[in-house]
Each structure stands twice: as C-alpha cells, then as structure tokens.
Chains A and B, each alone.
Chain A
C-alpha cells in the first residue's frame, strides 16, 4: 500500500475518532459524571446496540490510528528492511489482537454475558 493511502487512512481515522469520542463524551453529560460510571450505567451503555456499535467503531478507529502512529515512530527511530517489515507486521498483528479482544468485550457485554 502506498504511504499516501496509509496516511489518508491515518488522518481520516483521527478525524472520525475525534467526532465519535465527542459524541461519547456528550453522552456522559446526560447524567452526572459519578453516576455515569456506575456498573449499571456502563452495562446499560453496552446493551444499547447503537451505542455499543459506536464503541466498536471507536475501538477500530483508535486501533488503526494508534498502531500506525507507533509504526511511524518506530521506523523513524531505526532503519533497515527486516526491521521495517517486522515493525509493520508486528503493528498489524498487535492492532488485530486489540480489536479482537475489545470486540469480544463489547460483544459479550452487549449480549448480557457479564
């Protein structure tokens, strides 16, 4: 994949994540802060499907953006073909793991399996 395509995805995920995290923060304002962190409130968020979907999208956006950022930092620190390949595949693997684990949490909680 060309670097410009990767960077378009990087900037796009950043913008989309900012917008969705703003929605997420605004939802906290519907009740007072301490109340919003109570166990029942958190579970209720997950069980409200559109909200759980939004959390899933935030998870994917932040994972893509964060792990690409990490890749960029690492390839600037050290160069070399094998190092860059391992950084790229390492970051893709770590990103996939984070998304899978986070999705599992969101999925199980929204299904009521807590």
Chain B
C-alpha cells in the first residue's frame, strides 16, 4: 500500500521544451490594405499542435490574434488555415511533424478574410445548402405503416466516406477553379451532392443533378485533385465529382 502511494505521488518528468518561430499573418481588411507577418517564439513539446501554439501566443504574447477554433479534435472544422503554405486543420497538425524551425500560418485561400486567420464561410455554406444536403423522400421512418429504411453494407459503402465531411473548407481553399470562378459550386458541395445521390434512401437525385448541371457547376472541375489531397477526414471529393459526372453522362443510373 505504501509502495503504491509512493508511485502515485512520483511526478512524471516532462521533457524540456524546444522553441519554434510561429509566423502569423495579421490582417484586418477594414483597417489595413495588406497583410503583414509577425514572428513569435513559442515553446513546444512533441504533442503540441499548431492550434496550441497559436493559443499560447494569444494567451501570453498577443491577445489580438484572430483565430476560430472549437473542438480541438478535428471534428468541428473551425480551425482550417494555411500552415507552411498547405491548408490543414491547426488542431490536427503537430508542430513536430512539420519538421521546420519556422511555421507560417495564414488564412485559407479562396475565402474572404474577416481578420487574421479567420475567414468567412458564407459562400461555402450557401452552396452546401443549395445542393439540398438531406434525404429527400415523400414517406418517412416515423410515418405509420412504414419501418426503418434498411441498407446493405455495400449500399452504405458507396457514400459513407463522403458523410465524414466536417465543412472545414480546406478542399475549397485549394481548388484552382474556386480561385478564378466566383460562381463555382466547389468540391465540398459537389462531394455532398454525391453523398446524397448515392444514398439508396434518397429520392432527390433528379433535383440535385439539375442544380449541379449548370455553367458554373460540376463541369468546371478540372480534376486537379488537390481537394482530395488536403481533406483531413479522408473524403475524396475529386472521385465523388467524377462519379457524379457518370450520372450526368449516362454511365451510371
């Protein structure tokens, strides 16, 4: 018993911190004409994420840093930003894995900057809503006389990866078409259109195909594939877009 209490009270040794330079993009479009970078020396351990480092700066060095975050576990999709030039979730990127003494954080491309690292999601949410991201059918599971809509594992397999989307916007931020075409639906919404069209419970295929079959819809994708490269949840929007094209070209029904 005595030995046990000795073990519990023994403090765990924490390795000494190393330091990294965190270069944060500061920009308030209402007051400034161009962004500027400010460097901060930040201590880190092997488990420190980029978001932890930003929050360390915010807490101890510069309270004015604008950053959006919430869950800290890659579930809410709030902390998307450009880390060393590549869009990623700050809470899902460890400093140690970047293998760099300087870490540059910037707001995502293809989104309007609200302040510093915070961008506006209005366009993405409106295109997401536009494709009707819900099951469309006349009856429902709670209608008397109906029962649960069952699916086989094979049917679920067709769309399940696309339902992992957390709307973080990383795919839209790397899309080359989004950079030039302000009316393009975007890989996020197109992947979600596929997610519902491929769902056997859904009856809204015709509606959704009509929405995306537009001059700024699915056909403006050039299949660069960057959207699939950056998705932190393993969604493959580029594949979803090609499968959707199959419906429109008559290869799939």
Contact = CB atoms under 8 A, between A and B. Distances in A.
A11 B184 CA distance: 21
Of the candidates B181, B215, B217, the one having the most CB atoms from chain A within 10 angstroms of its own CB is B215
Contacts of A72: 219-220
B251 to A, nearest CB: 11
Question: For the side of the interface on A, what is the size category?
Answer: 10 to 19
Nearest to A7: B219
B177 interface: yes
A4 B215 contact: no
A76 B217 contact: no
Nearest to B247: A4
Contacts of A3: 213-215, 217, 219
A86 to B, nearest CB: 14
A84 B215 CA distance: 9
Of the candidates A2, A7, A76, the one having the most CB atoms from chain B within 10 angstroms of its own CB is A76
Given A3-B213, A72-B220, A79 B183 contact: yes
B180 interface: yes
Interface in B179-233: 180-184, 213-217, 219-220
Interface of A: 2-4, 7-8, 11, 72, 75-77, 79, 84
22 contacts: A3-B214, A3-B219, A4-B213, A4-B219, A4-B248, A4-B249, A7-B219, A7-B249, A8-B249, A11-B249, A72-B219, A72-B220, A75-B181, A76-B177, A76-B180, A76-B184, A76-B220, A77-B180, A79-B181, A79-B182, A79-B183, A79-B216
Interface of B: 177, 180-184, 213-217, 219-220, 248-249
